[in-house]
Chains A and B, each alone.
Chain A
Amino acid sequence: MTDGPFRNLKLSRRWKRFSEAVQNDSVDKAEVCALASDAFVREILTDDAQALMADLQAYEQREQLDFDPTSSFEAIFDDHSKTPFADTLQKELAFRLAEKMPPNVAVEQALEASVNDQIIEARNHIEEECIRVLESGEMRKDQFDRTITQVDAAFETLNKDAICDAIRAGDKNAFKNAVSKKKGLDEGPNL
């Protein structure tokens, strides 16, 4: 969207689009929020993560009583590859199960905690990239300060419930409409 340092951030295409939008006054807050949510959900929901979420949901929906949910969940996680998100989710779940929390509640709370954790990770990653381009001289200090402020503000306004719902349902396209390009003749940014 803009020339200069924002193009050089080593981020995925979607996070780059977000970081460019975040410092563009003409992009409204709701659009920025949708871009972050979309980038986040798509980054988390790899094919394997989608399969993991489907298995967790299947476990929650089964009617059979489970005397050893910890082992069952371990087996589910062992069937899927390790990702930072899956790893965090497994740890959060194991901790709650050890506290004798009912499995369904434990999954819900572990998911929320993992999403929170990954949101912080994503924000840190963007800010580290900004620091890198600041130190390499590609970004000015005023651009850096402004970007950090705007990124923080955007992450504060994220709708975490909507993100959790999308991840739980394995729905990569949950924010697709909100971030789709507005190409109409009578569409445009706010004056």
Chain B
Amino acid sequence: MTDLNEISAQEIGRRLRIARENAGIRQDEAAQVIGMSRPTLVSIEQGARRVRIQELQSLAHHYGVSVNAILRREAVHTDLVPRYRKLKEAEDVHTTEAVQLLNNLVKAEVELENVLGIERRKNYPPERGINTGDVIELAEQHAQELRNWLGIGSGPITDIFSLIEFDLGIRLYQRRLSSGSKVAGLFTYEPSIGACILLNANHPLERRIQSAAHEVGHFSGTRQIPEVLEDNEQFLSREERYANAFGRAFLTPRKSFEESFRQLTAGSDTLTRRHVILLAHQNHISREACVRRLEELGLIKKGIWAWFEANGGITNAQAKEVLGSAAEIHDPAKDDASRLISHRMSLMMHAAWKRDLMSEGQLADLLNIPRIELRAIIDQIELEESDTDDLLKLPH
């Protein structure tokens, strides 16, 4: 553990404030715990007065964290939750759950990276800003420019999740939220940890692709503003309209999408279900997103998706009829989301444990899982490693 005197009074005060806010405890209540007045606690949190070790122990105990968690050099003392407080959605229980989950995931991942000495590569283009001009035009332009910047041209994006994580270096998490949650995704940006996106893994793949592209829109245009994407949002701010348009333009750029539409429907005077299934599949988007994008681009009349809905929709069985086995899309992120912690987090946790950098108790606290479950994950990885080692032994 880091010595109390190695950390400045300001830094330890900041960490105590974050721990108190995370625990949802008021300043006057915390001050009572250590038998002092509220102004004294304020001066501790502001770094004007150095906290004593007994006071630190009492406060940590009251906040439900260990002294070690407050003093650890590698620990992440950033709280994403307050960034969302000013949003109207933040009052909602589902949003609170999602924000807290994102916060926990970021803290755990960053601390494990710090402990293991992993440096995350960021490849962020400059924030564009959307203060002036038509947001839809800006979104189209910015989406194409981001594609050019990434060197992916105008074709369909086969794996937007890898693009976000590895090409842009954004922290991307896909985890399951409560079954009734209306949150589709979250975005936040904090200079010390970078851009972070959480997607609701309960949603089908095509929906998550759309949400991911929407969040990339926020990253591109309005990075400094945290955002919650909900189902069926009624009021759309300028930022939301930009992100929606950006998402569509990023996944289906006007020129290439129009070209593939024209090639597919050449010689036909109707837009059939078969056309929609093929075009959506080519572009890795949902059938609804495909038709709505065609409507938006003026390539078909408005209301065609409504026509399909009124006439029984376009079913998965029909998609299978057209695409055969290609209609079944592999979705590894969904399987990963069903695990208690993700594969990547499991491996980092195991490495930190194996190298004696963190104890089982510390890791269980950090990952918010029971120790017995943590032990089971470690045992499983150990077992798999020993099996792999056996395979590598050369025969005599």
Contact = CB atoms under 8 A, between A and B. Distances in A.
A181 B310 CA distance: 7
Chain B contact residues: over half helix, strand or loop, or mixed?
Answer: helix
Contacts of A185: 272-274, 318, 321-322
Contact of B270 (A2, A24, A27, A187): A187
A1 B303 contact: yes
Given A24-B307, A185-B274, A190-B271, 18 more contacts: A2-B303, A20-B310, A25-B302, A26-B300, A26-B303, A26-B304, A26-B306, A182-B311, A185-B321, A186-B274, A187-B273, A187-B311, A188-B271, A188-B275, A188-B308, A189-B271, A189-B307, A191-B271
B301 A26 contact: yes
A24 B300 CA distance: 12
Interface in A172-189: 181-189
Q: How large is the interface on A (under 10, 10 to 19, 20 to 34, 35 or more residues)?
A: 20 to 34
Interface residues of B, number: 25
Interface in A127-151: none
B171 to A, nearest CB: 34
Contact of B273 (A1, A20, A27, A188): A188
Given A1-B310, A17-B310, A188-B273, A24 B303 contact: yes
A189 B312 contact: no
B306 A1 contact: yes
Contacts of A17: 310
B270 A191 contact: yes
Contact of B269 (A21, A24, A187, A190): A190
26 contacts: A1-B307, A2-B303, A17-B310, A21-B310, A24-B303, A24-B306, A25-B302, A25-B303, A26-B301, A26-B303, A181-B310, A181-B311, A183-B312, A185-B274, A185-B318, A186-B272, A187-B311, A188-B273, A188-B308, A189-B300, A189-B304, A189-B307, A191-B265, A191-B268, A191-B271, A191-B301
Q: Main SS of the interface on chain A?
A: loop
B137 interface: no
A189 to B, nearest CB: 5
Contacts of A183: 311-312
Nearest to B299: A191
Interface centre among A24, A187, A189 (most CB of B within 10 A): A189
A44 B173 CA distance: 58
A147 to B, nearest CB: 13
A106 B269 CA distance: 47
Nearest to B265: A191
Contacts of B318: 185
B309 interface: yes
A134 to B, nearest CB: 20
Contacts of B309: 1
A3 to B, nearest CB: 9
Contacts of B272: 185-188
Contacts of A186: 272-274
B322 A26 contact: no
A95 B302 CA distance: 49
A73 to B, nearest CB: 42
Give 10 closest A-B pairs by Cβ, nearest first.
Answer: A24-B303, A1-B306, A188-B272, A183-B312, A25-B301, A26-B303, A26-B301, A26-B304, A181-B311, A189-B307
A189 B270 contact: yes
Contacts of B268: 191
Contact of A27 (B269, B271, B276, B307): B307
Nearest to A186: B272
Contacts of B302: 24-26
